[in-house]
Structure 1
Amino acid sequence: MDEKQSIEQRLRIENEVKGSASWFYWIAALSILNSIIFMFNLNWNFVIGLGVTQLLDFAGRAFSDNFISGIKYLSLSLNIILSAVFIVIGLYANKASRKAFIIGMILYGLDTIVFILAFDLLGIGFHIFAIYFMFRGFQACAKMKNIINTEETAEK
């Protein structure tokens, strides 16, 4: 493989890692947006968000009068913390961290349980779809590591 092909391959794999890592950012952002939409009593949400944050939203509403008391802020704060976890995972995944992809896939996989219990087929399907692309990013990290090792060996 010549140098040009090697560079093209590396760029393609880097783009695959970054594209897969972006799922974590989307999950975080849309989870927060779902909570804000819920606070304003709008009757729709984004399926890509976390099911756990939706449970917190419902719990916040159930334990407060019209979702106005301090419980709503506690619920929103917990949602922001959970979303921040996914942002941090995304930051590490963006740097081709296989551990970040594994942790993210496990957490999002566990979140799928919420949709299974609610028998939300769209939510289940979308979670599986997102996990598939996260897994592709995990695989791309292994390819990236091989390329880096090959480059380091060639330099010696």
Structure 2
Amino acid sequence: MKKKSWKLELDGQEHTVELEHGVVFGKRKIYVDGQLVEESRKLFDTGSDHTFQIGAHLCTVHIRTNGLTFNYDLSVDGYPVGMRGAVTPSAPGSAARSAFSYRLLELENRFKGGANWFYWIAGLSLLNSLIFLFGGNMSFVVGLGITQVVDGIVSVIANEFGGTVATVAHLLGMGGNVLITAIFVVFGVLARKKHRWAFIVGMVLYALDILILMWAKDFYSILFHAIALFGLYRGMATLKELQALMATQPAETLAGQEVLG
């Protein structure tokens, strides 16, 4: 459970806003001056915005993620709350820039979260192979079916011939799986560099991997493959939305904005 709090002064009164965020199960609670004002849960936690009022002021807690970590911000009437709790509308037009900045950050994090699925697929697939190599009997359902086929072939050869042949088979199988997972790492790198084709090709290959799972009747893994595919598709769709936002935003609002690569 992560906790974040802000102290701020509005209309001459001090207030405390507190956030409790369960990063595993997506539960979030928001308190204002010790009183619970919102409680919700998000199973697939890709971040969210939570709006509430303090007096006549509209406040929003922003939860953002890059797919691996979370960060939290508070805005009041569209303005970010500074480090010391001050609401800082520093210049004319800053409200528009602030709204654009939050929207940009939201899309960037959602897009990167989608691209990061390639890393999860690669990492868990390689971990499955390592577990097999050291004699384990469990596997992660998001991992690739093709690497498990390689492991199965290695197992047959090792059991049939044993000795040096088994050792060589294990080494070759592990090397092959490293190459396969490296391809998905490359897709992740290229996708985060905003190459849409990397999303498309990677999704096609991962979808084809489902055919192996269907042949094996591993329906649980098929379900989680579908979830991962949805995450990848969402990242690709967000990339299009992000590029459209950057193309249509007026130049004066873009001034001073830093786009994360």
1:73-105: CA deviation from partner (whole Å, max 9, x where unpaired): 111111000110000101111122211111111
Structure with more contact order per residue of length (Cα contacts < 8 Å, sep ≥ 6): 1
Residue matched to 1:136? 234
Query: 1:26 and 1:68 mapped to 2: Cα distance?
Result: 29
- Cα deviation for residue 148 of structure 1 reads 2.0
- Asked if 1:28 corresponds to 2:122, the answer is yes
- Cα deviation for residue 2 of structure 1 reads 1.7
Query: 1:150 and 1:76 mapped to 2: Cα distance?
Result: 48
**One-letter code of the match for 1:106?**
V
- Asked if 1:99 corresponds to 2:197, the answer is yes
Residue matched to 1:121? 219
Q: Please report the TM-score for the alignment, with normalisation by the length of structure 2.
A: 0.56
The CA RMSD over aligned residues, in Å, is: 1.6
1:38-72: CA deviation from partner (whole Å, max 9, x where unpaired): 11221111111100000001101212227832111
Query: 2:184 and 2:136 mapped to 1: Cα distance?
Result: 25
Partner SS for 1:63: helix
Structure index of larger Rg = 2
Give 5+ residue unaligned stretches, structure 2.
1-94, 253-261
Question: Once structures 1 and 2 are overlaid, which stretch shifts more, 94-103 or 124-133?
Answer: 94-103
More strand by share: 2
More helix by share: 1
Mapped contact 2:132–2:151 kept (Cα < 8 A): yes
User: Aligned residue pairs: how many?
Assistant: 154
